[in-house]
Structure 1
Amino acid sequence: MSQPLLRTNVQNVTDRTSNPFGLRPPFDRSGPNERTAVFGYGDANADFHVIGDHPGLHGGKRTGVPFTEIANGNAIQGVLRDPDIDFASGPRDRPVLENCYLSYVHMCSLPDGHQPTASDYAELERYFDAELRAINAHILLPVGEQATDHVLREYTTQRRRFDLNMADLHATEIRGRGFMVVPIRNPSEWDDDDREAIVETLRGILASDYRQTKGVATRIG
């Protein structure tokens, strides 16, 4: 399927929480009792889009919901459930999300212990791009080095400015081409202050007129 055709077929189906755009994974390498893919999930009209790497790293191979099941995913959910953020509520395996959407750069599941290859990421890039543009959020929150690298390369003009030191990039605000990008260090690497740092950054964004961010970033990106 070509990229233009995929974009043409994506429609904003707001009454579906999981895979609202009806994407179909191009391959199945999942293990027993695992979902073929962990599709995007949440509010399809969200202003905040949390972007993980792949199901093996950030969870959901059995629930089918990003950022569930495992420690990395639960840590991100903990941020989204913070009373001052209040993006997530309800069951952790199938949270109710408001103003927030979750997805992965590499949505397909792989057997435990396997990592996506460069060609795997490339094969799924058009799916991720189509979904990101359909959601059209104001704030992109890539989690971990792979997702941050991809988002900075594809949706900002500033990748060359950074060496991908996630400790330095964590919870910072970076102007993109029509987006504000706020990288999040992988939770398994968090220091004592990292959780509070991302919560504090999100508090500040929510307290601001962040919906103007998109227009400003478009003009200067």
Structure 2
Amino acid sequence: MKNVTDRTSNPFGLRPPCDRAPEEGRDAVFGYGDANGDFHVIGDHPGVHGGKRTGVPFTGTDAGRAVQDVFREAGFVTGPADDPDCENLYCSYLHMCCLPNGHEPTGREYDDLERYFDAELRAINAHILLPVGETVTDHVLRAYTTQRRRFDHDLDMADLHARELRGRGFMVVPIRNPDEWAAGDREEIVSTLESILESDYRQTKGVATRVG
């Protein structure tokens, strides 16, 4: 059984090149949770999914709280919303650096942080990757599966939501961004998580599978 680290926040001491002015608040929202977990939920950036105040992913914004609540209902998260306890779950962002309110990362800014994201993802080595939103899902499908070419240039997140897709050493389960959820979307991802937990999910020859 793997034992990566017992540290909850930024377990690998990443130091990305974030250049936010100190007077504007924290520089980054680092990965957080159970670094030995089998499930890794991946958000976009702090401006969308939260954590600028708390330093914890999926806190402080409506979208972030909605994602956290899904994993809370499925049994991964307990404790206070802003300081949660995560079991079998690690949370991080594709772009961890904080930007001024209203600013979105540029393509170059995503690229500048990709190596930090990739290093942490591979160190965690979860079985199940859960990218939230089109930007993150697109990156995860391109980088960690051979399936991106199956889909149109613009991903249909309504169709991909809660689907199980095989990757290179991972199973990928995309999550539609909460501000786009339609009736039944929340219940669908909770049901998928519960189904995976009840199954015998494992990695075999580098491909995440589940039986049952």
TM-score bracket, shorter-length normalisation: over 0.9
The structural deviation recorded for 1:102 is: 0.1
Which residue number corresponds to residue 27 of structure 2?
A: 36
Matched-pair contact (CA < 8 Å) for 1:31–1:112: no
Report what 1:144 is aligned to.
133
TM-score by length of 2: 0.93
Contact 1:138 1:179 in 2 (8 A): yes
Contact 1:31/1:110 (8 A) holds in 2: no
Partner Cα separation in structure 1 for residue 172 and residue 55 of structure 2 = 25
- Which of 178, 183, 205 matches 2:174? 183
| Larger helix share, 1 or 2 | 1
- Whether contact under 8 Å (2:133, 2:174) holds in the other structure is yes
Provide the rounded CA distance (Å) in 2 between the counterparts of 1:30 and 1:182: 36
Structure 1's 35 and 200: CA in aligned 2 closer, same or farther, altered over 3 A? Answer: same
Name the CA distance, whole Å, in 2 between partners of 1:33 and 1:111.
8
What CA distance in whole angstroms lies between the structure 2 residues aligned with 1:93 and 1:219?
31
Quote the residue 1:124 is aligned against.
Answer: 113
Residue 150 of structure 1: SS of its match in structure 2? helix
Corresponding residue for residue 91 of structure 1: 80
| Separation (CA, whole Å) in 2 of partners of 1:44 and 1:137 | 9
- Offset, 1:135: 0.2
1:93-112 per-position Cα deviation (integer Å, ceiling 9, x unaligned): 01000000000000000000
Identity %, equivalent residues: 71
* Residue of structure 2 equivalent to 1:8: none
- Mapped partners of 2:180, 2:119: distance in 1: 30
What secondary structure is seen at the aligned counterpart in 1 of 2:207? Answer: helix
State the distance in 2 between where 1:45 and 1:126 align.
Answer: 20
With structure 1 as the length reference, what TM-score do the two structures score? Answer: 0.89
Which among 108, 112, 120 is matched to residue 97 of structure 2? 108
Relative distance call for 1:31 and 1:179 in structure 2 (3 A) is same
Bigger fraction of residues in strand? 2
Cα–Cα, structure 1 residues 216 and 198, in superposed 2: closer, same or farther, change >3 Å? farther
Could you report, residue by residue, the CA deviation over 1:98-144 in whole angstroms, capped at 9, with x for unpaired residues?
A: 00000000000000010000000000000000000000000000000
Correspondence 1:1-221 to 2 at 5 A: 14-29=5-20, 32-82=23-73, 85-163=74-152, 164-211=155-202, 214-215=203-204, 218=207
Flag structure 2 segments of 5+ consecutive residues without an equivalent. Answer: none
- Matches of 1:194 and 1:61, distance apart in 2: 27
Distance 2:87 2:173 in 1: 19
Aligned equivalents of 1:50 and 1:30: distance in 2?
28
Mapped to 1, the partners of 2:162 and 2:205 lie a distance apart of: 20
Choose 48-57 or 33-42, whichever is displaced more: 33-42
SS of match in other structure, 2:14:
coil
**4+ residue runs of structure 1 moved beyond 3 angstroms?**
30-33
* Aligned-pair CA distance for 1:34: 2.4
SS of the residue 1:140 aligns to: strand
In the superposition, relative to structure 1, how do residues 100 and 55 fare at CA in structure 2: closer, same or farther (>3 Å)? same
**What letter matches 1:78 in structure 2?**
D
Question: Retained in 1: the 8 A contact 2:171–2:208?
Answer: no
1:6 paired residue number? none
